[in-house]
Amino acid sequence: MSFPEQRPRRLRRSPAMRRMVAETRLHPADLILPVFVREGLTEPVPISSMPGVVQHTEASLLTAAEEARDLGLAGIMLFGIPTTRDAQGSAGLDPQGILNRSIRAVKDRVGEDLVVMSDLCLDEFTDHGHCGLVDEAGEVDNDATLEVYAEMGVAQAEAGADVVAPSGMMDGQVAVIRQALDEAGHQHVPILAYAAKYASGFYGPFREAVDSQLKGDRKQYQMDAPNRTEALREVELDLAEGADMVMVKPASAYLDILSDTAAISDVPVSAYQVSGEYAMIEAAAANGWINRRTVVTESLIAIRRAGATNVLTYYAAEVAGWLREELAGSRGSASASGAQTPPSAPAHPPIEPRRPTASTRPADQPRTDAGFPPVS
Protein backbone atom coordinates (compact mmCIF):
# COMPACT_ATOMS: atom_id res chain seq x y z
CA MET A 1 0.00 0.00 0.00
CA SER A 2 1.32 3.43 -0.97
CA PHE A 3 0.83 6.39 1.36
CA PRO A 4 0.94 10.07 0.26
CA GLU A 5 4.17 11.98 0.78
CA GLN A 6 2.35 15.34 0.73
CA ARG A 7 -0.38 15.92 3.34
CA PRO A 8 -1.87 19.42 2.95
CA ARG A 9 -4.61 18.41 5.40
CA ARG A 10 -2.13 18.90 8.24
CA LEU A 11 -2.75 22.64 8.01
CA ARG A 12 -6.54 22.25 8.26
CA ARG A 13 -6.81 20.19 11.44
CA SER A 14 -8.19 22.85 13.77
CA PRO A 15 -9.81 26.30 13.67
CA ALA A 16 -6.65 27.80 15.16
CA MET A 17 -4.48 26.16 12.50
CA ARG A 18 -6.77 27.28 9.68
CA ARG A 19 -6.79 30.79 11.09
CA MET A 20 -3.00 30.86 11.24
CA VAL A 21 -2.52 29.93 7.57
CA ALA A 22 -5.45 31.90 6.13
CA GLU A 23 -4.36 33.76 3.00
CA THR A 24 -7.32 36.14 2.90
CA ARG A 25 -9.00 37.81 5.87
CA LEU A 26 -11.95 40.12 6.42
CA HIS A 27 -11.68 43.28 8.49
CA PRO A 28 -14.28 46.02 9.01
CA ALA A 29 -11.91 48.42 7.24
CA ASP A 30 -12.38 46.31 4.08
CA LEU A 31 -16.11 47.09 3.97
CA ILE A 32 -18.12 50.07 2.69
CA LEU A 33 -21.83 50.39 3.49
CA PRO A 34 -24.17 51.65 0.73
CA VAL A 35 -27.16 53.54 2.18
CA PHE A 36 -30.29 55.08 0.72
CA VAL A 37 -31.81 58.30 2.05
CA ARG A 38 -35.21 59.37 0.77
CA GLU A 39 -36.55 62.86 0.95
CA GLY A 40 -39.76 63.38 2.91
CA LEU A 41 -39.77 60.20 4.97
CA THR A 42 -40.76 60.36 8.63
CA GLU A 43 -39.58 56.83 9.39
CA PRO A 44 -37.38 54.28 7.60
CA VAL A 45 -39.13 52.27 4.87
CA PRO A 46 -38.15 48.61 4.40
CA ILE A 47 -37.13 47.56 0.88
CA SER A 48 -39.16 44.43 0.18
CA SER A 49 -36.67 42.84 -2.21
CA MET A 50 -33.75 43.48 0.17
CA PRO A 51 -34.79 42.18 3.61
CA GLY A 52 -33.05 44.12 6.37
CA VAL A 53 -32.25 47.13 4.16
CA VAL A 54 -34.25 50.36 4.33
CA GLN A 55 -34.71 53.72 2.73
CA HIS A 56 -33.51 55.98 5.51
CA THR A 57 -34.97 59.19 6.81
CA GLU A 58 -32.52 62.02 7.15
CA ALA A 59 -32.43 61.36 10.89
CA SER A 60 -31.99 57.58 10.72
CA LEU A 61 -29.23 58.07 8.14
CA LEU A 62 -27.17 59.83 10.80
CA THR A 63 -27.67 56.94 13.20
CA ALA A 64 -26.53 54.49 10.51
CA ALA A 65 -23.46 56.64 9.84
CA GLU A 66 -22.57 56.74 13.54
CA GLU A 67 -22.92 52.98 13.75
CA ALA A 68 -20.71 52.52 10.67
CA ARG A 69 -18.10 54.71 12.31
CA ASP A 70 -18.26 52.87 15.62
CA LEU A 71 -17.96 49.49 13.90
CA GLY A 72 -14.79 50.60 12.14
CA LEU A 73 -16.12 50.40 8.58
CA ALA A 74 -14.03 51.87 5.79
CA GLY A 75 -16.78 54.18 4.59
CA ILE A 76 -20.38 54.84 3.72
CA MET A 77 -21.72 55.40 0.18
CA LEU A 78 -24.74 57.73 -0.05
CA PHE A 79 -27.57 57.44 -2.57
CA GLY A 80 -30.22 60.17 -2.49
CA ILE A 81 -33.86 59.81 -3.56
CA PRO A 82 -35.63 63.15 -4.18
CA THR A 83 -39.34 63.88 -4.04
CA THR A 84 -39.27 65.65 -7.42
CA ARG A 85 -37.50 64.53 -10.58
CA ASP A 86 -37.06 66.13 -13.99
CA ALA A 87 -35.38 65.32 -17.31
CA GLN A 88 -32.17 67.13 -16.29
CA GLY A 89 -31.82 65.59 -12.82
CA SER A 90 -31.77 69.07 -11.28
CA ALA A 91 -32.17 67.82 -7.71
CA GLY A 92 -28.75 66.20 -7.96
CA LEU A 93 -27.11 69.60 -8.50
CA ASP A 94 -29.05 71.50 -5.86
CA PRO A 95 -26.78 72.29 -2.88
CA GLN A 96 -29.85 71.85 -0.68
CA GLY A 97 -31.07 68.74 -2.48
CA ILE A 98 -31.47 65.49 -0.57
CA LEU A 99 -28.09 64.02 -1.52
CA ASN A 100 -25.96 67.11 -0.97
CA ARG A 101 -27.56 68.09 2.31
CA SER A 102 -27.25 64.48 3.49
CA ILE A 103 -23.55 64.47 2.64
CA ARG A 104 -23.17 67.64 4.69
CA ALA A 105 -25.14 66.27 7.63
CA VAL A 106 -23.29 62.93 7.71
CA LYS A 107 -19.92 64.64 7.41
CA ASP A 108 -20.81 66.98 10.27
CA ARG A 109 -21.77 63.97 12.39
CA VAL A 110 -18.81 61.64 11.76
CA GLY A 111 -16.04 64.11 10.95
CA GLU A 112 -12.83 62.47 9.80
CA ASP A 113 -13.61 59.11 11.45
CA LEU A 114 -15.50 57.65 8.47
CA VAL A 115 -14.98 58.16 4.74
CA VAL A 116 -18.14 59.70 3.31
CA MET A 117 -18.63 58.74 -0.34
CA SER A 118 -21.29 59.98 -2.73
CA ASP A 119 -22.80 58.38 -5.82
CA LEU A 120 -22.21 60.74 -8.74
CA CYS A 121 -24.91 59.84 -11.23
CA LEU A 122 -28.22 61.19 -12.51
CA ASP A 123 -30.35 58.05 -12.52
CA GLU A 124 -31.91 58.68 -9.10
CA PHE A 125 -32.76 62.26 -10.07
CA THR A 126 -34.14 61.96 -13.63
CA ASP A 127 -37.76 61.30 -14.52
CA HIS A 128 -36.62 58.89 -17.24
CA GLY A 129 -34.26 56.94 -14.96
CA HIS A 130 -31.19 57.09 -17.19
CA CYS A 131 -27.72 57.94 -15.92
CA GLY A 132 -27.43 60.92 -18.26
CA LEU A 133 -29.33 63.47 -20.33
CA VAL A 134 -31.49 62.04 -23.08
CA ASP A 135 -31.48 63.67 -26.52
CA GLU A 136 -34.35 64.06 -28.98
CA ALA A 137 -33.63 60.64 -30.45
CA GLY A 138 -34.07 59.04 -27.05
CA GLU A 139 -30.39 58.22 -26.59
CA VAL A 140 -28.18 59.24 -23.68
CA ASP A 141 -26.02 62.19 -24.77
CA ASN A 142 -22.55 61.37 -23.47
CA ASP A 143 -20.91 64.81 -23.77
CA ALA A 144 -23.88 66.84 -22.54
CA THR A 145 -24.01 64.52 -19.55
CA LEU A 146 -20.33 65.13 -18.80
CA GLU A 147 -21.04 68.83 -18.28
CA VAL A 148 -23.65 67.95 -15.66
CA TYR A 149 -21.34 65.44 -13.99
CA ALA A 150 -18.71 68.14 -13.62
CA GLU A 151 -21.19 70.40 -11.81
CA MET A 152 -22.45 67.51 -9.73
CA GLY A 153 -18.95 66.54 -8.63
CA VAL A 154 -18.19 70.07 -7.48
CA ALA A 155 -21.52 70.29 -5.62
CA GLN A 156 -20.80 67.05 -3.78
CA ALA A 157 -17.26 68.12 -2.91
CA GLU A 158 -18.54 71.44 -1.59
CA ALA A 159 -21.10 69.56 0.51
CA GLY A 160 -18.19 67.73 2.14
CA ALA A 161 -17.89 64.42 0.30
CA ASP A 162 -14.56 62.73 0.99
CA VAL A 163 -14.84 60.73 -2.25
CA VAL A 164 -17.01 61.21 -5.35
CA ALA A 165 -17.96 58.09 -7.26
CA PRO A 166 -19.10 58.52 -10.87
CA SER A 167 -21.15 55.46 -11.78
CA GLY A 168 -22.75 56.42 -15.10
CA MET A 169 -20.16 54.85 -17.43
CA MET A 170 -19.98 57.94 -19.64
CA ASP A 171 -16.84 58.07 -21.80
CA GLY A 172 -14.39 60.63 -20.39
CA GLN A 173 -16.24 61.14 -17.08
CA VAL A 174 -13.18 60.86 -14.84
CA ALA A 175 -11.14 63.45 -16.75
CA VAL A 176 -13.99 65.97 -16.83
CA ILE A 177 -14.82 65.58 -13.15
CA ARG A 178 -11.14 65.77 -12.17
CA GLN A 179 -10.70 69.01 -14.09
CA ALA A 180 -13.83 70.52 -12.55
CA LEU A 181 -12.82 69.54 -9.03
CA ASP A 182 -9.31 70.94 -9.47
CA GLU A 183 -10.53 74.22 -10.94
CA ALA A 184 -12.95 74.62 -8.03
CA GLY A 185 -10.19 74.13 -5.47
CA HIS A 186 -11.04 70.53 -4.58
CA GLN A 187 -7.76 68.95 -5.64
CA HIS A 188 -7.82 66.88 -2.45
CA VAL A 189 -11.06 65.02 -3.30
CA PRO A 190 -10.39 61.58 -4.83
CA ILE A 191 -12.48 59.93 -7.54
CA LEU A 192 -13.67 56.35 -7.21
CA ALA A 193 -14.48 55.43 -10.80
CA TYR A 194 -17.02 52.73 -11.61
CA ALA A 195 -14.57 51.62 -14.28
CA ALA A 196 -16.09 48.27 -15.28
CA LYS A 197 -19.81 48.46 -14.62
CA TYR A 198 -21.90 45.91 -16.47
CA ALA A 199 -25.50 46.17 -17.64
CA SER A 200 -26.71 43.50 -15.27
CA GLY A 201 -29.85 41.73 -14.17
CA PHE A 202 -28.36 41.68 -10.67
CA TYR A 203 -29.43 45.32 -10.16
CA GLY A 204 -33.14 44.51 -9.93
CA PRO A 205 -33.71 45.19 -6.22
CA PHE A 206 -31.70 48.43 -6.44
CA ARG A 207 -34.37 49.76 -8.79
CA GLU A 208 -36.87 49.38 -5.97
CA ALA A 209 -34.45 50.87 -3.46
CA VAL A 210 -34.09 54.14 -5.41
CA ASP A 211 -37.64 54.12 -6.87
CA SER A 212 -36.12 54.04 -10.35
CA GLN A 213 -38.15 55.54 -13.19
CA LEU A 214 -36.21 53.63 -15.84
CA LYS A 215 -38.02 52.15 -18.80
CA GLY A 216 -35.90 49.84 -20.93
CA ASP A 217 -32.24 49.26 -20.10
CA ARG A 218 -28.80 50.88 -20.00
CA LYS A 219 -27.03 48.60 -22.44
CA GLN A 220 -25.97 51.52 -24.66
CA TYR A 221 -23.52 52.74 -22.05
CA GLN A 222 -22.95 50.04 -19.43
CA MET A 223 -20.78 47.08 -20.36
CA ASP A 224 -21.94 43.93 -22.09
CA ALA A 225 -21.65 40.74 -20.01
CA PRO A 226 -19.70 38.66 -22.59
CA ASN A 227 -16.83 41.15 -22.77
CA ARG A 228 -13.66 40.76 -20.73
CA THR A 229 -10.93 42.54 -22.69
CA GLU A 230 -13.14 45.60 -23.01
CA ALA A 231 -13.27 45.85 -19.22
CA LEU A 232 -9.50 46.23 -19.08
CA ARG A 233 -9.69 48.97 -21.68
CA GLU A 234 -12.27 50.81 -19.58
CA VAL A 235 -10.12 50.46 -16.47
CA GLU A 236 -6.98 51.64 -18.27
CA LEU A 237 -8.82 54.69 -19.63
CA ASP A 238 -10.04 55.68 -16.16
CA LEU A 239 -6.57 55.21 -14.70
CA ALA A 240 -5.10 57.38 -17.46
CA GLU A 241 -7.72 60.06 -16.75
CA GLY A 242 -6.69 60.22 -13.10
CA ALA A 243 -8.97 57.86 -11.18
CA ASP A 244 -7.75 57.48 -7.61
CA MET A 245 -9.65 54.21 -7.18
CA VAL A 246 -11.50 51.94 -9.60
CA MET A 247 -14.50 49.67 -9.17
CA VAL A 248 -15.91 46.50 -10.69
CA LYS A 249 -19.70 46.06 -10.51
CA PRO A 250 -21.32 43.57 -9.94
CA ALA A 251 -18.83 41.59 -7.89
CA SER A 252 -19.62 37.89 -7.58
CA ALA A 253 -20.55 37.14 -11.20
CA TYR A 254 -17.53 39.11 -12.44
CA LEU A 255 -14.70 37.82 -10.27
CA ASP A 256 -12.60 37.24 -13.38
CA ILE A 257 -12.93 40.93 -14.27
CA LEU A 258 -12.07 41.86 -10.70
CA SER A 259 -8.96 39.69 -10.78
CA ASP A 260 -7.90 41.14 -14.14
CA THR A 261 -8.43 44.67 -12.83
CA ALA A 262 -6.44 44.06 -9.65
CA ALA A 263 -3.58 42.70 -11.77
CA ILE A 264 -3.20 45.90 -13.80
CA SER A 265 -4.29 48.60 -11.36
CA ASP A 266 -1.79 50.69 -9.44
CA VAL A 267 -4.60 52.20 -7.34
CA PRO A 268 -7.02 50.55 -4.88
CA VAL A 269 -9.70 48.34 -6.43
CA SER A 270 -13.27 48.21 -5.11
CA ALA A 271 -16.01 45.72 -5.91
CA TYR A 272 -19.75 46.15 -5.35
CA GLN A 273 -21.72 43.19 -3.99
CA VAL A 274 -24.93 44.44 -5.52
CA SER A 275 -28.58 44.24 -4.55
CA GLY A 276 -29.35 41.09 -6.53
CA GLU A 277 -26.46 39.22 -4.92
CA TYR A 278 -27.76 40.29 -1.52
CA ALA A 279 -31.35 39.35 -2.36
CA MET A 280 -30.41 35.87 -3.58
CA ILE A 281 -28.52 35.08 -0.39
CA GLU A 282 -31.42 36.35 1.72
CA ALA A 283 -33.99 34.36 -0.24
CA ALA A 284 -32.01 31.12 -0.06
CA ALA A 285 -31.35 31.61 3.65
CA ALA A 286 -35.01 32.38 4.35
CA ASN A 287 -35.93 29.06 2.75
CA GLY A 288 -33.39 27.19 4.83
CA TRP A 289 -31.36 26.17 1.78
CA ILE A 290 -28.07 27.69 2.96
CA ASN A 291 -26.37 28.73 6.17
CA ARG A 292 -26.73 32.50 5.92
CA ARG A 293 -23.72 33.60 7.97
CA THR A 294 -21.42 31.08 6.31
CA VAL A 295 -22.45 32.09 2.80
CA VAL A 296 -22.31 35.82 3.49
CA THR A 297 -18.80 35.48 4.87
CA GLU A 298 -17.68 33.15 2.08
CA SER A 299 -19.03 35.47 -0.61
CA LEU A 300 -17.11 38.44 0.79
CA ILE A 301 -13.90 36.44 1.19
CA ALA A 302 -14.24 35.36 -2.46
CA ILE A 303 -14.46 38.99 -3.57
CA ARG A 304 -11.45 39.95 -1.48
CA ARG A 305 -9.52 36.88 -2.66
CA ALA A 306 -10.15 37.88 -6.28
CA GLY A 307 -8.34 41.15 -5.64
CA ALA A 308 -10.71 43.71 -4.11
CA THR A 309 -9.06 46.16 -1.74
CA ASN A 310 -12.51 46.87 -0.32
CA VAL A 311 -16.08 45.75 -0.89
CA LEU A 312 -19.29 47.74 -1.04
CA THR A 313 -21.85 45.48 0.58
CA TYR A 314 -25.20 45.82 2.31
CA TYR A 315 -23.84 43.34 4.84
CA ALA A 316 -21.03 45.68 5.93
CA ALA A 317 -22.34 46.64 9.37
CA GLU A 318 -23.62 43.18 10.20
CA VAL A 319 -20.39 41.46 9.19
CA ALA A 320 -18.34 44.01 11.16
CA GLY A 321 -20.43 43.06 14.18
CA TRP A 322 -19.69 39.37 13.58
CA LEU A 323 -15.98 40.07 13.27
CA ARG A 324 -16.03 41.94 16.53
CA GLU A 325 -17.83 39.07 18.23
CA GLU A 326 -15.23 36.64 16.89
CA LEU A 327 -12.40 38.83 18.11
CA ALA A 328 -13.99 39.16 21.53
CA GLY A 329 -14.50 35.40 21.62
CA SER A 330 -10.85 34.68 20.83
CA ARG A 331 -9.78 37.13 23.50
CA GLY A 332 -12.13 35.47 25.95
CA SER A 333 -10.59 32.09 25.18
CA ALA A 334 -7.12 33.52 25.67
CA SER A 335 -8.13 35.00 29.01
CA ALA A 336 -9.67 31.74 30.13
CA SER A 337 -6.41 29.96 29.34
CA GLY A 338 -4.42 32.41 31.44
CA ALA A 339 -3.32 34.80 28.69
CA GLN A 340 -3.72 38.50 29.31
CA THR A 341 -6.02 40.61 27.15
CA PRO A 342 -4.14 43.60 25.76
CA PRO A 343 -5.05 46.73 27.71
CA SER A 344 -5.67 48.61 24.44
CA ALA A 345 -8.63 46.36 23.61
CA PRO A 346 -11.59 47.40 25.80
CA ALA A 347 -14.68 45.24 25.95
CA HIS A 348 -17.36 46.16 23.43
CA PRO A 349 -21.08 46.31 24.15
CA PRO A 350 -23.17 44.27 21.70
CA ILE A 351 -24.49 45.98 18.59
CA GLU A 352 -27.24 44.76 16.29
CA PRO A 353 -26.02 46.28 13.03
CA ARG A 354 -29.16 45.69 10.98
CA ARG A 355 -31.25 48.06 13.12
CA PRO A 356 -30.45 51.73 13.70
CA THR A 357 -29.14 52.22 17.23
CA ALA A 358 -27.70 55.05 19.21
CA SER A 359 -23.94 55.40 19.30
CA THR A 360 -22.43 52.88 21.69
CA ARG A 361 -18.75 53.79 21.37
CA PRO A 362 -17.03 53.96 24.78
CA ALA A 363 -15.62 57.43 25.37
CA ASP A 364 -12.02 56.21 25.47
CA GLN A 365 -12.22 53.98 22.39
CA PRO A 366 -10.74 55.19 19.08
CA ARG A 367 -13.36 55.50 16.39
CA THR A 368 -11.20 54.40 13.51
CA ASP A 369 -11.03 50.66 13.95
CA ALA A 370 -13.52 49.74 16.68
CA GLY A 371 -10.83 47.97 18.68
CA PHE A 372 -9.57 45.74 15.87
CA PRO A 373 -5.85 45.32 15.31
CA PRO A 374 -4.39 47.37 12.46
CA VAL A 375 -4.78 46.07 8.92
CA SER A 376 -1.43 45.04 7.48
Write out the DSSP string of 87-120.
TT-GGGT-TTSHHHHHHHHHHHHHTTSSEEEEEE
* pLDDT over 80 at 371, yes or no: no
Lowest mean pLDDT among 290-294, 336-340, 346-350: 346-350
Instruction: Catalytic residue, from 107, 215, 219, 249: name it.
Output: 249
Alpha-carbon distance of 55 to 313, in angstroms, equals 15
pLDDT band of residue 368 (cuts 50, 70, 90) is: very low
Which of 136-145, 169-178, 207-216 reaches the highest mean pLDDT?
A: 169-178
Lowest mean pLDDT among 118-122, 196-200, 325-329: 325-329
CATH second-level architecture of 23-134+141-336? Alpha-Beta Barrel (3.20)
Q: Which amino acid is at 181?
A: L
pTM of the predicted model, to two decimals? 0.87
Among 166, 126, 160, residue whose Cα is nearest residue 146? 166
What does the pLDDT look like over 153-164, one tens digit per residue? 999 999 999 999
Q: Which amino acid is at 39?
A: E
Q: Specify the pLDDT at position 370.
A: 56
pLDDT band of residue 342 (cuts 50, 70, 90) is: very low
Q: Specify the pLDDT at position 353.
A: 40
| Three-state helix/strand/coil letters over 204-245 | HHHHHHCCCCCCCCCCCCCECCCCCHHHHHHHHHHHHCCCCE
Other CB atoms within 10 A of residue 7 CB: 8
pLDDT band of residue 355 (cuts 50, 70, 90) is: very low
Q: Is the separation of the CB atoms in 114 and 154 below 8 Å?
A: no
* pLDDT over 80 at 303, yes or no: yes
Alpha-carbon distance of 114 to 110, in angstroms, equals 6
Q: Which residues contact 250 (CB under 8 A, 6 or more apart)?
A: 198, 200, 202, 203, 272, 273, 274, 276, 277
* pLDDT over 70 at 334, yes or no: no
pLDDT band of residue 357 (cuts 50, 70, 90) is: very low
For range 133-145, the mean pLDDT: 90
Question: Cis before residue 28, ω within 30 degrees of 0?
Answer: no
What does the pLDDT look like over 202-248, one tens digit per residue? 888 877 777 677 676 777 889 999 999 999 999 999 999 999 999 99
SS3 74: coil
* pLDDT over 50 at 351, yes or no: no
Alpha-carbon distance of 244 to 226, in angstroms, equals 27
* pLDDT over 90 at 137, yes or no: no
What does the pLDDT look like over 90-100, one tens digit per residue? 999 999 999 99
Q: Which stretches of the chain are DSSP H helices?
A: 15-20, 58-70, 98-110, 142-159, 173-183, 204-209, 229-240, 255-264, 275-286, 292-305, 316-336
* pLDDT over 70 at 345, yes or no: no
Instruction: Catalytic residue, from 107, 197, 215, 219: name it.
Output: 197
Q: Specify the pLDDT at position 360.
A: 43
Based on the residue annotation, tell me whether 215 is a catalytic residue of this protein.
no
For range 176-184, the mean pLDDT: 98
Q: Specify the pLDDT at position 333.
A: 63
Q: Is the separation of the CB atoms in 279 and 204 below 8 Å?
A: yes
* pLDDT over 50 at 19, yes or no: yes
Based on the residue annotation, tell me whether 249 is a catalytic residue of this protein.
yes
